[in-house]
Amino acid sequence: MKKISLQKKLNASAFAFVVALSATSYSHAHGNVAGESYVGLDAVYNFMGFKSGYGDKVLKKSAPGLNLFVGHMFHENFGAEAGFEYDKNMKRSNTVAQGEMVGGVPIPGGLTNISYDSKLKQSHPYVGLVGKYNVFDNTFVSLMVGGSLSHVNAQYTVTNTGVGGVVGAAYVGTTKSYSKTRLIPLVKASVEHKVTDRFGLRALVAWKNTASIKMTAKENSNYSVKLKDSYSIGVGALYYF
């Protein structure tokens, strides 16, 4: 049986979710959110860089993703939200010049240019406290402060060294792989508009402290990848119940 990827499952879930929202929405919007629960789906784009010489030359620095979330308002202005953000697996091919660093280690002398193929995947399950304020009858601004149990997995492989013979052959096919799971701070701000009693839309920006994630290669601890803080933008749909 053909294996279905998690990304395809999420895409199918997104379509089914939007259809369900449209089918169950009411025609009258209201502003009162006290005691209300909600579930939703965001389409997000995540920008996450790497420190110079520690992954920036070989790893992809941005990725689209989906965020499935659920929340509850304990009070008109206070609540909690939990979610799971899964970013698309990203690939990159790049050539690095002699003298540059990859994984914190300089390109070895005698090699002119080294070409790499890389893969990066990440996920960010989170939970946080939400403060929400009704600025109009059915439009809200909110701020969420919480923590994300972020998982980052990266790998790059040498595909060409710019030279042949024994010297080049010693490096072609060399792989460095990294993996780290860490609890990091997360801040998310959003603007939410209730279209009906049961259906809403939101736009958001988010910050994650991914700079606190540092990874060493499984094959050689002298090699490391250091992240910068990440920033996300997105739009989403909510169902209230």
DSSP letter, residue 213? -
Mean pLDDT of 230-241: 98
| Encoded tokens for 55 | 């992954």
Place of tokens 């929340």: 71
Residue ranges and CATH numbers for the domains of the chain are: 6-26+33-240 (2.40.160.20)
Closest CA to 175 of 110, 228, 119: 119
pLDDT tens across 11-60, in order? 555 455 444 444 443 333 455 567 899 999 999 999 999 999 999 999 99
> Is residue 3 pLDDT above 60, yes or no?
no
- Please state, in angstroms and rounded to a whole number, the distance separating the CA atoms of residues 221 and 114: 21
pLDDT at 31: 56
Closest CA to 235 of 81, 67, 38: 67
- Please state, in angstroms and rounded to a whole number, the distance separating the CA atoms of residues 92 and 43: 22
74, 80 Cβ separation under 8 angstroms: yes
